[in-house]
Amino acid sequence: MLVPETIKNMKASKSSEKQWWRDAVTYQIYIRSFADENGDGIGDIKGIISRLDYLKELGVDAIWITPWYPSPQHDNGYDVADFMDIHHEYGTLDIAQELIDEVHRAGLRIIIDMVPNHSSNEHQWFEEALKSKPGSVERSRYLFRDGKGENGENPPNNWQSVFGGPAWTRITEGNGELGQREGTSRCPSPGTSWPTRFA
């Protein structure tokens, strides 16, 4: 029979295992400049693998990889064009799996940078949103709004982009007419309507 104290200890143990990151030392790796294995001047995943002994020696508990997905690199890889693959300059999915296995073999943990709140304007979903009609599911994944004024000539509000200029861009609809405004707080990485569309 489990006495209350034992149950309490089990819960505490589970909780601390879940929250290992609270007191872990994590080494953030900006992949593009960390280590270049094939000598093309751009960091890559095999470069990280070649430095795992060094990272282990430093005494870190985990490594954190900045976004390594296919990207036009307008925003240092945070403008993700495909969340399901690896940027061609960094390696392949197989090489990424090799890194994950090697990290675990070294007794370390690995954190992958996931960026769900915006995507590249080259992401398939954004291209579909531009081609689709106002009010469609495809458009609802991003922040499209009607402009103000009789013909939508004014932006919906006065938001500014952190990249400079207004946050809103007026698009041309499929019929060739000026259409809705698209809100990009991180142009050219349009903000998604996460979490409402992804929950």
Q: What residues line the site for Ca ion (CB under 5 A)?
A: 36, 38, 40, 42, 44
Closest contact distance (angstroms) between CB of 33 and Ca ion is 11
Q: Which is nearer to Ca ion, 42 or 62 (CB)?
A: 42
Q: Which is nearer to Ca ion, 42 or 106 (CB)?
A: 42
Structure tokens given for 172: 């041309």
Q: Which is nearer to Ca ion, 36 or 102 (CB)?
A: 36
Closest contact distance (angstroms) between CB of 50 and Ca ion is 11
Residue number of the CB atom closest to Ca ion = 44
Q: Which is nearer to Ca ion, 41 or 164 (CB)?
A: 41
Q: What angle do CA 135, 141, 90 make, to 5 degrees?
A: 150
CA distance 113 to 104: 17
Structure tokens given for 178: 């000026």
Closest contact distance (angstroms) between CB of 38 and Ca ion is 5
Closest contact distance (angstroms) between CB of 32 and Ca ion is 9
CA distance 50 to 158: 49
Q: Which is nearer to Ca ion, 28 or 38 (CB)?
A: 38
The residue among 68, 129, 127, 71 whose CA lies nearest residue 95 is 68
The pair phi, psi for residue 64, each rounded to 5°, is -125, 120
Closest contact distance (angstroms) between CB of 92 and Ca ion is 13
| Exposure b/e, 52-80, CB count within 10 A at least 16 = b | beebeeeeeebbbbbbbbbbeebbebbbb
